[in-house]
Amino acid sequence: MLNTFHGTRCLHQQHDNGIHEFVFTESSRQAVDEWFTQLDYITRDVPSGTMMYFLVRSTATDVLPVAYMIKSAFNWVTENPHLYTARVAFLHRSNFYYPHAKSFIRAWQMSNGIAVRFYPSDRRDDAVRWLLAEN
């Protein structure tokens, strides 16, 4: 693993295969803010058109603040529409509420180069295969 960031609410690791993995350790707005701070840092010097791969999961006991994540994603993509193309795979637990995810996907996919998928937490290998697929 490369470029490991040890945050307190959202951990980041870049794996050798190029995937940036984010793990939320708590369910809070501060954790979401930390995630977007990390995205700013990671994408700061990325040339336009570079494909990025993000795997996102949570170990927090509570559900992440979905409405705040949607608003933050919308704002982030609006401020950074030119930065990169990306695939984002979210690993979720059984208490995941899918209708909120549709709004999140729309916010992220405002940029034509961003694709988002959601996978149950026990399908990590499938999520990684999709992230790295050549299609």
Residue 15 token pair? 């794996």
Q: What is d(CA 11, CA 99) in angstroms, rounded to the nearest whole number?
A: 26
Give residue 126's domain range.
Answer: 2-132
- Higher pLDDT among residues 113 and 40, named by residue: 40
Q: Is the pTM of this model over 0.85?
A: no
Tens-place pLDDT, residues 70-116 = 888 878 877 876 666 888 898 887 665 555 565 666 555 555 677 88
Largest CA distance in the chain: 37
Domain count for the chain: 1
pLDDT value at residue 41: 86
Q: What is d(CA 109, CA 129) in angstroms, rounded to the nearest whole number?
A: 20
CATH of the domain at 31: 3.30.750
φ and ψ at residue 118, rounded to 5 degrees = -120, 135
Mean pLDDT of 15-25: 94
Residue 38 token pair? 């990390």
User: Mean pLDDT lowest for which of 12-21, 31-40, 58-67, 73-82?
Assistant: 73-82
- H helix intervals, the chain: 29-43, 66-79, 98-108, 124-132
Q: What is d(CA 57, CA 128) in angstroms, rounded to the nearest whole number?
A: 12
